[in-house]
Amino acid sequence: MALSPNEAAAVLSKSLSLIEKTRGRVEQIDEDAFPTLSSCYARDVLNRALLALAQPESLKAMNSEVLYNRLVQLQDLVDDVEASSSDRISWPLVSYCDTIWEKLFEKEKITPKLFYTVTTEHNYKIVSFSNKLSLRISSLLSSAEIREITRDEKIYSLHLASLEDANLPLYANIGHEFGHALYDAMEDSILRLLVDEFLTVFRSLFADVGTGDPDQVKRRRRRVTSVIIAFAKELFADLVGAMVGGPAFLLSLYEMGWGGTKSTWSIRLSVREQEIRAYPSDNFRLNCLKQSIGLDAFEKNAVEAFAFLATPVLKEMSTYV
């Protein structure tokens, strides 16, 4: 139901007030409190977006309800930047992780920017901050205006589990999250490898869903493809995590699965193909890693390294992995 002119004006007025309030939050963020300059880039992109949304010529073309809805959605991006300050994020961790990040992308033309923030979830995750912002304002501003705001910079935010900030072994999961960003940068090459490896599987699956209404068949095949790609993304990120963290990543992945069903493969569908998520079972992922990180050699070396310990219980720790 369309708003009356008075209602639309009221929503627009509230939206303008929220723009100013949000700009105030962004401008009060002290850049000297950031452990990395990438937080400054994220803050500046947010500020440019808010300024663009407040332009009179832009406001004329906007639906006031959509504008208010998107402004509410932008608040979590502001939260992420605010939570990236040094009182939440350890500088030594940033320095160490930045070194790995730069090595992963050293063959790319442009290294994406990365800042660090916290989450209350018992999880680690990486988010394309610049893409998330672009999607939030895509129905309000033109593509040209959005490019001017983001300046085609790729900015990622790495969310660290605040509940586990003292659990150092769990930080090995960061390598997995970096793998997702590396996948984004190398997607075309990785998809070609995936097609080469899974062509027979794709054909078999397409045959299974290839009956009925042609439009539905096309839709089902797209969704099947999206699910397989989502599985592959997770396994690729696991491989990067194993290359970065070695057996430590195996242990951290095992711990992240506590409390869940380790044999279940999960799929989360969405009306948007790009938002479909799928995860292999923990058992499958752990088994794949055992084959890729030289676990037998690690265990042999660990037994030798622990041999001098006097306490039997400590000696047995060498075979824990």
Which of 50, 52, 56 lies closest to 27 in space, CA to CA?
Answer: 50
* Average pLDDT score over residue span 252-281: 90
> Cα angle at 73 between 174 and 127, to 5 degrees?
15
* Average pLDDT score over residue span 280-307: 87
- The pLDDT of residue 1 is 57
Over residues 262-272, the pLDDT tens digits come to: 999 999 998 88
Yes or no: say if 273 and 222 are a contact pair by the CB < 8 Å rule.
yes
Over residues 122-131, the pLDDT tens digits come to: 889 999 999 9
- The pLDDT of residue 291 is 79
Yes or no: say if 36 and 111 are a contact pair by the CB < 8 Å rule.
no
How many whole angstroms separate alpha carbon 39 and alpha carbon 44? 9
Q: Which helix (H) or strand (E) holds 277?
A: strand 277-279
* Average pLDDT score over residue span 87-98: 87
How many whole angstroms separate alpha carbon 148 and alpha carbon 129? 16
Collapsed DSSP state (helix, strand, coil) of residue 49? helix
- pLDDT surpassing 60 at residue 214: yes
Residue 279 backbone phi and psi in degrees, to 5: -135, 125
Average pLDDT, the chain: 90
Interhelix angle 64-82/38-53, rounded to 10 degrees, is 160
